[in-house]
Structure 1
Amino acid sequence: MTLKNYLYSILLLGLALILVGCQSQKSQSKAKDASWTAVKKRGKLIVATETGFAPFAFKTLVDGKDTIVGSDVDMVKAIADQLGVEVEFKEMSFDNVLATVQSGKADIGISGISITKERQKSFLFSTGYYTAKTTLMIQKSQEEKLVSIDDFADKSIASQKGSIQETLAKEVFSDAQQVSLPQTGEMVMELKQGKVEGILLEEPIAKAYVAKNNDLMISSLDIPSDNSDQYGILLPKTSQALANKIDSVLKPMVTSGEVDQMIQDAFNLSVNQ
Protein backbone atom coordinates (compact mmCIF):
# COMPACT_ATOMS: atom_id res chain seq x y z
CA MET A 1 0.00 0.00 0.00
CA THR A 2 1.36 3.40 -0.93
CA LEU A 3 1.59 6.21 1.60
CA LYS A 4 -1.13 8.05 -0.31
CA ASN A 5 -3.52 5.09 -0.12
CA TYR A 6 -2.67 4.55 3.51
CA LEU A 7 -3.50 8.15 4.42
CA TYR A 8 -6.71 7.92 2.37
CA SER A 9 -7.74 4.79 4.27
CA ILE A 10 -7.08 6.50 7.60
CA LEU A 11 -9.19 9.47 6.49
CA LEU A 12 -12.10 7.20 5.50
CA LEU A 13 -11.87 5.34 8.80
CA GLY A 14 -11.92 8.63 10.70
CA LEU A 15 -15.01 9.82 8.83
CA ALA A 16 -16.74 6.50 9.47
CA LEU A 17 -16.04 6.75 13.18
CA ILE A 18 -17.38 10.32 13.26
CA LEU A 19 -20.59 9.24 11.50
CA VAL A 20 -21.03 6.30 13.87
CA GLY A 21 -20.45 8.63 16.80
CA CYS A 22 -23.07 11.11 15.55
CA GLN A 23 -25.61 8.34 15.01
CA SER A 24 -24.83 6.99 18.47
CA GLN A 25 -25.33 10.43 20.02
CA LYS A 26 -28.66 10.82 18.21
CA SER A 27 -29.77 7.39 19.38
CA GLN A 28 -28.74 8.17 22.94
CA SER A 29 -30.56 11.50 22.75
CA LYS A 30 -33.73 9.78 21.60
CA ALA A 31 -33.30 7.07 24.23
CA LYS A 32 -32.99 9.70 26.97
CA ASP A 33 -36.36 11.23 26.07
CA ALA A 34 -38.50 9.02 28.26
CA SER A 35 -41.09 11.75 28.85
CA TRP A 36 -44.02 9.83 27.39
CA THR A 37 -42.80 6.46 28.70
CA ALA A 38 -42.62 7.89 32.24
CA VAL A 39 -46.17 9.24 32.06
CA LYS A 40 -47.49 6.00 30.59
CA LYS A 41 -45.72 3.89 33.23
CA ARG A 42 -46.99 6.14 36.02
CA GLY A 43 -50.46 6.10 34.50
CA LYS A 44 -50.87 9.76 35.33
CA LEU A 45 -50.17 13.16 33.77
CA ILE A 46 -49.03 15.71 36.38
CA VAL A 47 -50.29 19.19 35.49
CA ALA A 48 -49.21 22.51 37.04
CA THR A 49 -51.83 25.26 36.85
CA GLU A 50 -52.85 28.64 38.25
CA THR A 51 -56.58 28.97 38.94
CA GLY A 52 -57.25 32.68 38.52
CA PHE A 53 -57.55 32.42 34.74
CA ALA A 54 -61.25 32.01 34.04
CA PRO A 55 -62.44 30.71 31.67
CA PHE A 56 -59.25 28.67 31.10
CA ALA A 57 -58.57 27.55 34.67
CA PHE A 58 -60.52 28.55 37.78
CA LYS A 59 -62.23 27.05 40.82
CA THR A 60 -65.88 26.47 41.55
CA LEU A 61 -68.04 24.24 43.75
CA VAL A 62 -68.90 20.89 42.21
CA ASP A 63 -71.12 18.69 44.41
CA GLY A 64 -70.13 20.88 47.34
CA LYS A 65 -66.40 20.46 46.72
CA ASP A 66 -64.00 23.22 45.64
CA THR A 67 -62.88 22.00 42.20
CA ILE A 68 -60.46 23.14 39.51
CA VAL A 69 -62.38 23.63 36.27
CA GLY A 70 -62.07 25.55 32.98
CA SER A 71 -61.46 24.98 29.29
CA ASP A 72 -57.74 24.22 29.73
CA VAL A 73 -58.68 21.69 32.40
CA ASP A 74 -61.31 20.06 30.18
CA MET A 75 -58.88 20.04 27.26
CA VAL A 76 -56.13 18.29 29.23
CA LYS A 77 -58.60 15.76 30.64
CA ALA A 78 -59.76 14.93 27.11
CA ILE A 79 -56.16 14.56 25.92
CA ALA A 80 -55.25 12.33 28.88
CA ASP A 81 -58.35 10.21 28.28
CA GLN A 82 -57.32 9.64 24.66
CA LEU A 83 -53.80 8.73 25.80
CA GLY A 84 -55.14 6.32 28.41
CA VAL A 85 -53.81 8.04 31.55
CA GLU A 86 -55.25 9.87 34.55
CA VAL A 87 -54.64 13.54 35.43
CA GLU A 88 -53.35 15.12 38.64
CA PHE A 89 -53.60 18.92 38.93
CA LYS A 90 -51.21 20.91 41.11
CA GLU A 91 -52.38 24.44 41.92
CA MET A 92 -49.82 27.24 42.27
CA SER A 93 -49.01 30.82 41.23
CA PHE A 94 -48.38 31.48 37.53
CA ASP A 95 -44.63 32.07 37.85
CA ASN A 96 -44.35 28.83 39.85
CA VAL A 97 -46.15 26.98 37.03
CA LEU A 98 -43.24 27.88 34.75
CA ALA A 99 -40.61 26.96 37.34
CA THR A 100 -42.30 23.66 38.24
CA VAL A 101 -42.49 22.52 34.62
CA GLN A 102 -38.91 23.58 33.93
CA SER A 103 -37.67 21.58 36.93
CA GLY A 104 -39.59 18.49 35.76
CA LYS A 105 -41.79 18.36 38.87
CA ALA A 106 -44.80 18.56 36.56
CA ASP A 107 -45.17 17.01 33.12
CA ILE A 108 -47.02 19.99 31.64
CA GLY A 109 -48.30 23.45 32.56
CA ILE A 110 -51.57 25.15 31.62
CA SER A 111 -53.53 28.37 32.33
CA GLY A 112 -53.58 30.35 29.11
CA ILE A 113 -49.79 30.22 28.71
CA SER A 114 -48.58 32.31 25.78
CA ILE A 115 -46.10 30.88 23.29
CA THR A 116 -43.23 33.36 23.05
CA LYS A 117 -39.77 33.20 21.48
CA GLU A 118 -38.20 33.86 24.87
CA ARG A 119 -40.05 30.99 26.53
CA GLN A 120 -39.24 28.68 23.63
CA LYS A 121 -35.58 28.98 24.60
CA SER A 122 -36.34 27.11 27.83
CA PHE A 123 -39.54 25.17 27.11
CA LEU A 124 -41.40 23.14 24.53
CA PHE A 125 -44.98 24.00 23.60
CA SER A 126 -47.81 22.02 22.13
CA THR A 127 -49.48 23.28 18.99
CA GLY A 128 -51.24 26.60 19.62
CA TYR A 129 -54.90 26.14 20.53
CA TYR A 130 -56.21 29.68 21.06
CA THR A 131 -55.24 33.19 19.99
CA ALA A 132 -56.00 36.08 22.34
CA LYS A 133 -55.01 39.72 22.64
CA THR A 134 -54.10 41.81 25.64
CA THR A 135 -56.63 44.33 26.92
CA LEU A 136 -56.66 46.98 29.62
CA MET A 137 -59.17 46.68 32.44
CA ILE A 138 -60.11 49.82 34.40
CA GLN A 139 -62.82 51.07 36.75
CA LYS A 140 -65.95 52.29 34.94
CA SER A 141 -65.74 55.54 36.88
CA GLN A 142 -62.41 56.27 35.15
CA GLU A 143 -63.64 55.69 31.59
CA GLU A 144 -63.48 59.34 30.54
CA LYS A 145 -60.27 60.10 32.44
CA LEU A 146 -58.08 57.26 31.18
CA VAL A 147 -58.35 57.43 27.39
CA SER A 148 -54.69 57.42 26.30
CA ILE A 149 -51.38 55.86 27.29
CA ASP A 150 -50.18 59.30 28.44
CA ASP A 151 -53.04 59.42 30.96
CA PHE A 152 -51.29 56.62 32.87
CA ALA A 153 -48.12 58.63 33.49
CA ASP A 154 -47.35 58.39 37.23
CA LYS A 155 -50.34 56.08 37.71
CA SER A 156 -50.15 52.35 38.49
CA ILE A 157 -50.49 49.50 36.01
CA ALA A 158 -50.75 45.94 37.35
CA SER A 159 -49.73 42.77 35.51
CA GLN A 160 -49.15 39.18 36.49
CA LYS A 161 -45.66 38.20 37.50
CA GLY A 162 -43.97 36.10 34.82
CA SER A 163 -46.58 36.88 32.14
CA ILE A 164 -46.07 38.54 28.76
CA GLN A 165 -48.30 41.33 30.06
CA GLU A 166 -45.61 42.17 32.62
CA THR A 167 -43.17 42.86 29.78
CA LEU A 168 -45.82 44.66 27.74
CA ALA A 169 -46.71 46.94 30.66
CA LYS A 170 -43.10 48.07 30.95
CA GLU A 171 -42.80 48.66 27.21
CA VAL A 172 -46.12 50.39 26.50
CA PHE A 173 -46.75 52.14 29.82
CA SER A 174 -43.14 53.08 30.51
CA ASP A 175 -44.10 56.21 32.48
CA ALA A 176 -46.51 54.32 34.75
CA GLN A 177 -45.68 52.71 38.07
CA GLN A 178 -45.36 48.97 37.54
CA VAL A 179 -47.06 46.56 39.94
CA SER A 180 -46.35 42.84 39.41
CA LEU A 181 -48.51 40.42 41.39
CA PRO A 182 -48.61 36.59 41.37
CA GLN A 183 -52.39 36.13 41.27
CA THR A 184 -55.00 37.60 38.91
CA GLY A 185 -57.49 37.86 41.77
CA GLU A 186 -55.04 40.07 43.67
CA MET A 187 -54.77 42.44 40.73
CA VAL A 188 -58.54 42.70 40.39
CA MET A 189 -58.90 43.47 44.09
CA GLU A 190 -56.21 46.17 43.83
CA LEU A 191 -58.11 47.72 40.92
CA LYS A 192 -61.48 47.63 42.70
CA GLN A 193 -59.91 49.29 45.76
CA GLY A 194 -58.27 52.00 43.64
CA LYS A 195 -54.73 50.94 44.49
CA VAL A 196 -53.94 50.58 40.77
CA GLU A 197 -55.56 52.36 37.83
CA GLY A 198 -55.37 49.58 35.29
CA ILE A 199 -54.66 45.87 34.73
CA LEU A 200 -53.29 44.25 31.60
CA LEU A 201 -55.02 40.91 30.95
CA GLU A 202 -55.77 38.61 28.03
CA GLU A 203 -59.16 39.51 26.57
CA PRO A 204 -61.16 36.37 27.53
CA ILE A 205 -59.93 36.56 31.12
CA ALA A 206 -60.75 40.27 31.35
CA LYS A 207 -64.22 39.60 29.91
CA ALA A 208 -64.89 36.96 32.54
CA TYR A 209 -64.03 39.38 35.37
CA VAL A 210 -65.99 42.26 33.85
CA ALA A 211 -69.05 40.01 33.52
CA LYS A 212 -69.00 39.47 37.30
CA ASN A 213 -67.96 42.98 38.39
CA ASN A 214 -70.23 45.77 37.14
CA ASP A 215 -67.84 48.44 38.43
CA LEU A 216 -65.13 47.29 36.00
CA MET A 217 -64.80 47.55 32.22
CA ILE A 218 -62.42 46.84 29.35
CA SER A 219 -60.91 50.11 28.16
CA SER A 220 -61.32 51.18 24.54
CA LEU A 221 -57.64 52.17 24.65
CA ASP A 222 -55.93 50.29 21.82
CA ILE A 223 -52.96 48.28 23.05
CA PRO A 224 -50.38 47.79 20.22
CA SER A 225 -51.70 45.32 17.63
CA ASP A 226 -48.67 43.02 17.84
CA ASN A 227 -49.64 41.93 21.35
CA SER A 228 -51.89 39.08 20.15
CA ASP A 229 -50.58 35.71 21.27
CA GLN A 230 -51.25 32.02 21.02
CA TYR A 231 -51.75 29.76 23.99
CA GLY A 232 -50.00 26.40 24.16
CA ILE A 233 -49.48 23.60 26.66
CA LEU A 234 -46.10 24.08 28.35
CA LEU A 235 -43.58 21.21 28.56
CA PRO A 236 -39.95 20.79 29.65
CA LYS A 237 -37.42 21.28 26.86
CA THR A 238 -36.53 17.56 26.99
CA SER A 239 -40.11 16.27 26.57
CA GLN A 240 -40.46 16.09 22.79
CA ALA A 241 -41.91 12.56 22.92
CA LEU A 242 -44.68 13.70 25.26
CA ALA A 243 -45.25 16.84 23.17
CA ASN A 244 -45.73 14.67 20.08
CA LYS A 245 -48.28 12.48 21.88
CA ILE A 246 -50.21 15.53 23.11
CA ASP A 247 -50.22 17.13 19.65
CA SER A 248 -51.53 13.94 18.07
CA VAL A 249 -54.71 14.42 20.12
CA LEU A 250 -54.80 18.22 20.44
CA LYS A 251 -54.49 19.15 16.75
CA PRO A 252 -57.74 17.38 15.72
CA MET A 253 -59.50 18.97 18.72
CA VAL A 254 -58.43 22.43 17.55
CA THR A 255 -59.33 21.78 13.90
CA SER A 256 -62.79 20.41 14.74
CA GLY A 257 -63.67 23.40 16.94
CA GLU A 258 -63.87 21.22 20.05
CA VAL A 259 -61.43 23.45 21.98
CA ASP A 260 -63.35 26.63 21.03
CA GLN A 261 -66.53 25.02 22.33
CA MET A 262 -64.80 24.13 25.60
CA ILE A 263 -63.74 27.77 25.99
CA GLN A 264 -67.29 29.01 25.38
CA ASP A 265 -68.78 26.48 27.81
CA ALA A 266 -66.22 27.38 30.47
CA PHE A 267 -66.88 31.10 29.95
CA ASN A 268 -70.61 30.50 30.48
CA LEU A 269 -69.84 28.54 33.65
CA SER A 270 -67.50 31.24 34.99
CA VAL A 271 -70.02 34.07 34.63
CA ASN A 272 -73.00 32.09 35.92
CA GLN A 273 -71.48 30.46 38.98
Structure 2
Amino acid sequence: MKKITGLVMAAVALLTLAACGGGNDKTADSSAEKTTDQLAAIKDAGVLKVATSADYAPFEFHTMVDGKDKVVGADIDLVNEIAKELGVKAEISDMSFNTVLASLKEGKSDIAISAISATAERKEQFDFTDNYYNPPQVMIINKKNQGTFTSLAALKNKNVGAQKGSIQEDIVKTQIKDAKLVSIEKVPNMVVEVNSGSLDAMVVEKTIAESYVQQNPELMIADIDLEPSEDEAFAIALPKGSDELQTELNKIIKKLSDEGKIDEYVQTNHELAEKSAE
Protein backbone atom coordinates (compact mmCIF):
# COMPACT_ATOMS: atom_id res chain seq x y z
CA MET A 1 0.00 0.00 0.00
CA LYS A 2 1.28 3.46 -0.86
CA LYS A 3 1.55 5.92 1.98
CA ILE A 4 -0.52 9.05 1.41
CA THR A 5 0.25 12.33 3.13
CA GLY A 6 -2.36 14.09 5.22
CA LEU A 7 -2.58 16.84 2.65
CA VAL A 8 -3.32 14.45 -0.19
CA MET A 9 -5.83 12.52 1.91
CA ALA A 10 -7.62 15.76 2.73
CA ALA A 11 -7.77 16.64 -0.95
CA VAL A 12 -9.12 13.18 -1.82
CA ALA A 13 -11.75 13.50 0.90
CA LEU A 14 -12.91 16.87 -0.47
CA LEU A 15 -13.13 15.49 -4.00
CA THR A 16 -15.11 12.47 -2.76
CA LEU A 17 -17.61 14.69 -0.96
CA ALA A 18 -17.93 16.88 -4.03
CA ALA A 19 -18.60 13.84 -6.20
CA CYS A 20 -21.38 12.81 -3.83
CA GLY A 21 -23.16 16.14 -4.26
CA GLY A 22 -20.95 18.77 -2.64
CA GLY A 23 -19.35 19.24 0.74
CA ASN A 24 -22.17 21.13 2.40
CA ASP A 25 -21.15 20.25 5.96
CA LYS A 26 -21.67 16.55 5.28
CA THR A 27 -20.13 14.61 8.15
CA ALA A 28 -21.08 11.06 7.20
CA ASP A 29 -18.15 8.76 6.50
CA SER A 30 -17.90 8.37 2.72
CA SER A 31 -16.99 4.65 2.82
CA ALA A 32 -19.92 3.87 5.13
CA GLU A 33 -22.21 5.84 2.81
CA LYS A 34 -20.89 3.86 -0.15
CA THR A 35 -21.43 0.46 1.42
CA THR A 36 -24.91 1.33 2.69
CA ASP A 37 -25.83 2.50 -0.81
CA GLN A 38 -24.32 -0.68 -2.26
CA LEU A 39 -26.52 -2.97 -0.20
CA ALA A 40 -29.54 -0.75 -0.79
CA ALA A 41 -28.83 -0.68 -4.52
CA ILE A 42 -28.84 -4.48 -4.69
CA LYS A 43 -32.18 -4.60 -2.91
CA ASP A 44 -33.62 -1.76 -4.99
CA ALA A 45 -32.53 -3.46 -8.22
CA GLY A 46 -33.92 -6.77 -7.01
CA VAL A 47 -30.85 -8.51 -8.43
CA LEU A 48 -27.62 -9.84 -6.91
CA LYS A 49 -25.02 -9.98 -9.70
CA VAL A 50 -22.73 -12.95 -9.11
CA ALA A 51 -19.43 -13.73 -10.87
CA THR A 52 -18.27 -17.36 -10.97
CA SER A 53 -16.23 -19.84 -13.02
CA ALA A 54 -18.42 -22.89 -13.52
CA ASP A 55 -15.73 -25.53 -14.00
CA TYR A 56 -15.19 -26.61 -10.41
CA ALA A 57 -17.65 -29.33 -9.44
CA PRO A 58 -19.25 -29.70 -6.96
CA PHE A 59 -19.00 -25.97 -6.18
CA GLU A 60 -19.92 -24.61 -9.60
CA PHE A 61 -20.38 -26.62 -12.79
CA HIS A 62 -22.61 -27.11 -15.82
CA THR A 63 -25.26 -29.80 -16.06
CA MET A 64 -28.45 -30.46 -18.03
CA VAL A 65 -31.67 -29.59 -16.22
CA ASP A 66 -34.95 -30.25 -18.05
CA GLY A 67 -33.02 -30.41 -21.31
CA LYS A 68 -31.23 -27.10 -20.75
CA ASP A 69 -27.64 -26.36 -19.78
CA LYS A 70 -27.56 -24.82 -16.31
CA VAL A 71 -24.90 -23.64 -13.86
CA VAL A 72 -25.33 -25.46 -10.54
CA GLY A 73 -23.23 -26.32 -7.51
CA ALA A 74 -22.74 -25.79 -3.78
CA ASP A 75 -21.65 -22.18 -4.29
CA ILE A 76 -24.66 -21.57 -6.50
CA ASP A 77 -27.01 -23.01 -3.87
CA LEU A 78 -25.35 -20.74 -1.33
CA VAL A 79 -25.77 -17.54 -3.36
CA ASN A 80 -29.35 -18.46 -4.25
CA GLU A 81 -30.10 -18.78 -0.54
CA ILE A 82 -28.31 -15.49 0.14
CA ALA A 83 -30.36 -13.81 -2.57
CA LYS A 84 -33.52 -15.26 -1.06
CA GLU A 85 -32.57 -13.87 2.37
CA LEU A 86 -31.94 -10.46 0.79
CA GLY A 87 -35.25 -10.60 -1.04
CA VAL A 88 -33.65 -10.46 -4.50
CA LYS A 89 -32.83 -12.79 -7.40
CA ALA A 90 -29.32 -14.12 -8.08
CA GLU A 91 -28.00 -13.42 -11.58
CA ILE A 92 -25.11 -15.79 -12.32
CA SER A 93 -22.37 -14.87 -14.83
CA ASP A 94 -19.97 -17.66 -15.86
CA MET A 95 -16.43 -16.67 -16.85
CA SER A 96 -12.79 -17.78 -16.60
CA PHE A 97 -11.56 -17.99 -13.00
CA ASN A 98 -8.82 -15.41 -13.54
CA THR A 99 -11.44 -12.84 -14.65
CA VAL A 100 -13.87 -13.44 -11.77
CA LEU A 101 -12.20 -10.96 -9.41
CA ALA A 102 -11.53 -8.53 -12.26
CA SER A 103 -15.27 -8.48 -12.94
CA LEU A 104 -15.85 -7.56 -9.30
CA LYS A 105 -13.26 -4.77 -9.38
CA GLU A 106 -14.75 -3.34 -12.58
CA GLY A 107 -18.20 -3.16 -10.99
CA LYS A 108 -19.71 -5.72 -13.34
CA SER A 109 -20.73 -7.94 -10.41
CA ASP A 110 -21.79 -7.37 -6.80
CA ILE A 111 -20.07 -10.44 -5.37
CA ALA A 112 -17.71 -13.17 -6.58
CA ILE A 113 -18.03 -16.78 -5.49
CA SER A 114 -15.99 -19.50 -7.13
CA ALA A 115 -14.24 -21.54 -4.43
CA ILE A 116 -12.15 -18.40 -3.82
CA SER A 117 -9.55 -18.38 -1.06
CA ALA A 118 -9.21 -15.13 0.87
CA THR A 119 -5.43 -14.83 0.66
CA ALA A 120 -3.53 -11.90 2.19
CA GLU A 121 -2.69 -10.67 -1.30
CA ARG A 122 -6.34 -10.69 -2.38
CA LYS A 123 -7.42 -8.96 0.82
CA GLU A 124 -5.37 -5.96 -0.22
CA GLN A 125 -7.76 -5.41 -3.14
CA PHE A 126 -11.04 -6.94 -1.97
CA ASP A 127 -13.14 -7.48 1.11
CA PHE A 128 -14.23 -11.02 2.00
CA THR A 129 -16.96 -12.63 4.04
CA ASP A 130 -16.18 -15.09 6.80
CA ASN A 131 -14.97 -18.46 5.50
CA TYR A 132 -17.81 -20.79 4.57
CA TYR A 133 -15.82 -23.94 3.66
CA ASN A 134 -12.27 -25.10 4.32
CA PRO A 135 -11.29 -27.88 1.90
CA PRO A 136 -8.31 -30.23 2.03
CA GLN A 137 -6.00 -30.08 -1.00
CA VAL A 138 -4.83 -33.16 -2.90
CA MET A 139 -2.93 -34.15 -6.01
CA ILE A 140 -4.35 -36.02 -9.01
CA ILE A 141 -2.01 -38.31 -10.96
CA ASN A 142 -2.33 -41.01 -13.58
CA LYS A 143 -2.63 -44.49 -12.06
CA LYS A 144 0.33 -45.66 -14.13
CA ASN A 145 2.51 -43.35 -12.00
CA GLN A 146 1.18 -44.63 -8.67
CA GLY A 147 4.44 -46.34 -7.80
CA THR A 148 6.56 -43.39 -8.94
CA PHE A 149 4.88 -40.34 -7.41
CA THR A 150 4.86 -41.34 -3.75
CA SER A 151 6.34 -38.16 -2.25
CA LEU A 152 6.81 -34.48 -2.96
CA ALA A 153 10.47 -35.14 -3.71
CA ALA A 154 9.45 -37.53 -6.50
CA LEU A 155 7.93 -34.56 -8.36
CA LYS A 156 11.24 -32.76 -8.77
CA ASN A 157 11.41 -31.19 -12.25
CA LYS A 158 7.97 -32.64 -13.05
CA ASN A 159 5.10 -30.62 -14.57
CA VAL A 160 2.45 -29.94 -11.93
CA GLY A 161 -0.73 -28.13 -12.93
CA ALA A 162 -2.82 -25.61 -11.02
CA GLN A 163 -5.71 -23.43 -12.11
CA LYS A 164 -4.56 -19.98 -13.17
CA GLY A 165 -5.18 -17.39 -10.46
CA SER A 166 -6.02 -20.00 -7.82
CA ILE A 167 -4.62 -20.82 -4.37
CA GLN A 168 -3.34 -24.08 -5.84
CA GLU A 169 -0.68 -22.12 -7.71
CA ASP A 170 0.74 -20.99 -4.36
CA ILE A 171 0.58 -24.54 -3.00
CA VAL A 172 2.72 -25.79 -5.89
CA LYS A 173 5.18 -22.90 -5.46
CA THR A 174 5.56 -23.28 -1.69
CA GLN A 175 5.11 -27.02 -1.08
CA ILE A 176 6.38 -28.58 -4.31
CA LYS A 177 9.21 -26.11 -4.88
CA ASP A 178 11.27 -28.32 -7.18
CA ALA A 179 8.36 -28.99 -9.53
CA LYS A 180 7.57 -26.96 -12.64
CA LEU A 181 4.31 -25.04 -12.15
CA VAL A 182 2.00 -25.11 -15.17
CA SER A 183 -0.89 -22.62 -14.82
CA ILE A 184 -4.01 -23.49 -16.80
CA GLU A 185 -7.31 -21.59 -16.96
CA LYS A 186 -9.77 -24.50 -16.82
CA VAL A 187 -9.66 -27.52 -14.51
CA PRO A 188 -11.08 -29.94 -17.14
CA ASN A 189 -8.18 -29.00 -19.43
CA MET A 190 -5.73 -30.00 -16.70
CA VAL A 191 -7.50 -33.34 -16.31
CA VAL A 192 -7.07 -33.99 -20.04
CA GLU A 193 -3.37 -33.18 -19.79
CA VAL A 194 -2.81 -35.49 -16.81
CA ASN A 195 -4.59 -38.17 -18.82
CA SER A 196 -2.34 -37.60 -21.84
CA GLY A 197 0.85 -37.34 -19.80
CA SER A 198 1.71 -33.73 -20.70
CA LEU A 199 1.10 -32.97 -17.01
CA ASP A 200 2.54 -35.28 -14.39
CA ALA A 201 0.14 -34.14 -11.69
CA MET A 202 -2.34 -31.44 -10.76
CA VAL A 203 -3.28 -29.88 -7.41
CA VAL A 204 -6.95 -29.37 -6.65
CA GLU A 205 -9.39 -29.34 -3.74
CA LYS A 206 -10.27 -32.83 -2.49
CA THR A 207 -13.99 -32.80 -3.27
CA ILE A 208 -13.25 -31.53 -6.77
CA ALA A 209 -10.60 -34.22 -7.21
CA GLU A 210 -13.02 -36.96 -6.16
CA SER A 211 -15.49 -35.85 -8.83
CA TYR A 212 -12.90 -35.90 -11.61
CA VAL A 213 -11.38 -39.20 -10.51
CA GLN A 214 -14.87 -40.70 -10.50
CA GLN A 215 -15.30 -39.54 -14.10
CA ASN A 216 -11.81 -40.66 -15.18
CA PRO A 217 -11.00 -44.19 -13.93
CA GLU A 218 -7.42 -43.97 -15.22
CA LEU A 219 -6.73 -41.22 -12.68
CA MET A 220 -6.31 -41.34 -8.91
CA ILE A 221 -5.61 -39.17 -5.89
CA ALA A 222 -1.93 -39.50 -5.00
CA ASP A 223 -0.94 -40.72 -1.57
CA ILE A 224 0.96 -37.49 -0.92
CA ASP A 225 0.08 -35.13 1.92
CA LEU A 226 -0.20 -31.39 1.30
CA GLU A 227 -0.14 -29.04 4.26
CA PRO A 228 -3.51 -27.40 5.02
CA SER A 229 -3.73 -23.63 5.40
CA GLU A 230 -6.41 -21.23 6.58
CA ASP A 231 -5.69 -19.28 3.40
CA GLU A 232 -7.20 -22.20 1.48
CA ALA A 233 -10.66 -21.73 3.03
CA PHE A 234 -13.39 -20.41 0.72
CA ALA A 235 -15.01 -17.01 1.18
CA ILE A 236 -17.15 -14.68 -0.91
CA ALA A 237 -15.26 -11.74 -2.42
CA LEU A 238 -16.74 -8.24 -2.23
CA PRO A 239 -15.68 -4.80 -3.44
CA LYS A 240 -13.30 -3.04 -1.07
CA GLY A 241 -15.17 -1.10 1.62
CA SER A 242 -18.27 -3.35 1.60
CA ASP A 243 -18.86 -3.13 5.36
CA GLU A 244 -22.68 -3.24 5.32
CA LEU A 245 -22.93 -5.95 2.68
CA GLN A 246 -20.17 -7.95 4.38
CA THR A 247 -21.97 -7.83 7.74
CA GLU A 248 -25.25 -8.93 6.16
CA LEU A 249 -23.68 -11.83 4.26
CA ASN A 250 -21.76 -12.99 7.35
CA LYS A 251 -25.04 -13.28 9.25
CA ILE A 252 -26.54 -15.41 6.50
CA ILE A 253 -23.43 -17.60 6.16
CA LYS A 254 -23.32 -18.22 9.93
CA LYS A 255 -27.01 -19.17 9.95
CA LEU A 256 -26.60 -21.61 7.07
CA SER A 257 -23.39 -23.05 8.53
CA ASP A 258 -24.98 -23.56 11.96
CA GLU A 259 -27.88 -25.35 10.28
CA GLY A 260 -25.47 -27.65 8.39
CA LYS A 261 -26.78 -26.36 5.08
CA ILE A 262 -23.42 -25.60 3.48
CA ASP A 263 -22.05 -29.10 4.09
CA GLU A 264 -25.34 -30.38 2.72
CA TYR A 265 -24.90 -28.28 -0.44
CA VAL A 266 -21.42 -29.73 -0.97
CA GLN A 267 -22.54 -33.32 -0.51
CA THR A 268 -25.68 -32.96 -2.66
CA ASN A 269 -23.79 -31.38 -5.53
CA HIS A 270 -20.96 -33.90 -5.25
CA GLU A 271 -23.59 -36.60 -5.88
CA LEU A 272 -25.13 -34.56 -8.70
CA ALA A 273 -21.74 -34.10 -10.38
CA GLU A 274 -21.11 -37.86 -10.24
CA LYS A 275 -24.57 -38.57 -11.67
CA SER A 276 -24.09 -36.02 -14.45
CA ALA A 277 -20.86 -37.72 -15.47
CA GLU A 278 -22.50 -41.11 -15.92
SS of equivalent residue, structure 1 residue 131 = coil
**Distance in structure 1 (CA, Å) of the matches to 2:230 and 2:217:** 26
User: Corresponding residue for 1:32?
Assistant: 34
Deviation at residue 138 of structure 1 after TM alignment: 0.4
Deviation at residue 222 of structure 1 after TM alignment: 1.1
Instruction: Choose which of 93, 97, 100 in structure 1 pairs with 2:100.
Output: 97
Kindly provide the amino acid, as one letter, of the partner of residue 192 in structure 1.
Answer: N
User: Corresponding residue for 1:64?
Assistant: 67
**Distance in structure 2 (CA, Å) of the matches to 1:118 and 1:198:** 26
| Higher CA-based Rg | 1
**Distance in structure 1 (CA, Å) of the matches to 2:178 and 2:171:** 13
SS of equivalent residue, structure 2 residue 127 = strand
User: Corresponding residue for 2:175?
Assistant: 172
User: Corresponding residue for 2:198?
Assistant: 195
| Runs of 4 or more above 3 Å deviation | 23-26, 225-228
**Distance in structure 1 (CA, Å) of the matches to 2:159 and 2:91:** 37
Alignment of 1:1-273 (within 5 A): 27-33=29-35, 34-226=37-229, 229-273=232-276
Deviation at residue 197 of structure 1 after TM alignment: 0.4
Query: Where do 5+ consecutive residues of structure 2 fail to align?
Result: 1-22
RMSD of aligned alpha carbons:
1.7
**Distance in structure 2 (CA, Å) of the matches to 1:25 and 1:177:** 54
Q: What are the Cα deviations for residues 209-250 of structure 1, in whole angstroms up to 9, with x where unaligned?
A: 111111111111111244772111111112222222222222
Deviation at residue 43 of structure 1 after TM alignment: 0.8
Q: What are the Cα deviations for residues 191-212 of structure 1, in whole angstroms up to 9, with x where unaligned?
A: 1111100000011111111111
SS of equivalent residue, structure 1 residue 235 = strand
Conserved? CA contact 2:137–2:228, under 8 Å: no
Identity among equivalent positions (%) equals 37
Q: What is the aligned length?
A: 252
Deviation at residue 172 of structure 1 after TM alignment: 2.0
SS of equivalent residue, structure 1 residue 130 = coil
- Relative distance call for 1:93 and 1:203 in structure 2 (3 A) is same
Conserved? CA contact 2:118–2:231, under 8 Å: no
Deviation at residue 169 of structure 1 after TM alignment: 0.8
Deviation at residue 40 of structure 1 after TM alignment: 1.1
The TM-score with structure 1 as length reference comes to 0.88
Q: What are the Cα deviations for residues 89-139 of structure 1, in whole angstroms up to 9, with x where unaligned?
A: 111111100111122211111121112222111111112111112111101
Q: What are the Cα deviations for residues 176-197 of structure 1, in whole angstroms up to 9, with x where unaligned?
A: 2221011111111111111100
Deviation at residue 25 of structure 1 after TM alignment: 5.6
**Distance in structure 2 (CA, Å) of the matches to 1:154 and 1:117:** 28
